[in-house]
Amino acid sequence: MNLVDLSLAAGIAMAILFTRGTQCACGQELSGATVVTEDAAPIADSGREDSEIKVIRDQIAHYVEAFNRHDGKSLAGFRTKSGEFTATSGHTWRGAAELQECFESYFRDQPDARLELAETDVRILSPSVAMETGLAHVVRPDQAPVSTQYEAIHVRTADGWRIDR
C-alpha cells in the first residue's frame, strides 16, 4: 500500500477528505482546494457550535463505516454536489459520479483495506465551514498499517454538513 491508498482512506479521509501532499486513489498527487459555499445554510445561533460538531463527528463515524463496507456510492454521498479535488497534474474529480468511480476503483485494487481514524479534531471556522483534522490509519491484513495526518473541509449546506474538499 502506498500514499495513494492512504489519502483515499483518509478523506479521498473525509475526504476523508483529502490528505495534503499525498496522492489520491487514482494515482494523482493532491493539491490544496478552495472551499465553495454558495449553497451553505448559516448556523442561526453560535451557541449551537457544540451540537454542530457532534453532527459532523457522527457523520465521520458513518463515513468510516461506509469506507469499511467498501461502499463507494455512500462515500460520494457525504460530499457536496460540487465536491471535488484537483491533482497537481491538473486532473480534477468532480461530483458524485466521478468520486464514486474513484472510490470503487480503489476498493477493486484494495479489497481488504479498512480505515481507522484517531486524534480526530473538528473545529468550526465559520457558521458554514468546519475543518476536520486527524490521523488516518489504513489497515490491511497482509501489511503493516499505513498512517498519515489528514485535513478535510466540511461545509454546511441545505442538506446538512458535507465534505467539500
Q: Where are the domains of the chain?
A: 3-163
- Candidate from 50-59, 65-74, 144-153 with smallest mean pLDDT: 144-153
Buried b (16+ CB within 10 A) or exposed e, 68-103: eebbbebbbbbbbebbbbbbeeeeebeebebbbebb
Confidence of residue 47 (pLDDT cuts 50, 70, 90): low
Confidence of residue 113 (pLDDT cuts 50, 70, 90): very high
Query: Any idea which residue has 489504513 for its cell?
Result: 138
- For range 18-46, the mean pLDDT: 38
Decide if pLDDT at 16 tops 50: no
Q: What is the pTM of this model?
A: 0.72
Cell of 75: 462515500
* C-beta separation of 25 from 105 below 8 A: yes
- For range 102-124, the mean pLDDT: 94
Q: Give the whole-angstrom CA distance, residue 33 versus residue 56.
A: 20
Name which residue leads in pLDDT, 139 or 37: 139
Q: Where are the alpha helices (DSSP H) in the chain?
A: 3-11, 49-69, 72-77, 95-109
Give the distance from CA 139 to its chain's centroid: 17
| pLDDT of 83 | 86
* C-beta separation of 145 from 139 below 8 A: yes
Q: Does CATH place domain 3-163 in 3.10.450.50?
A: yes
| pLDDT of 155 | 96
Report the share of the chain in percent with pLDDT over 70. Answer: 68
Helix (H) or strand (E) holding 59: helix 49-69
| pLDDT of 45 | 52
Task: Kindly report the average pLDDT of the chain as a whole number.
Answer: 76
| pLDDT of 90 | 66
| pLDDT of 49 | 84
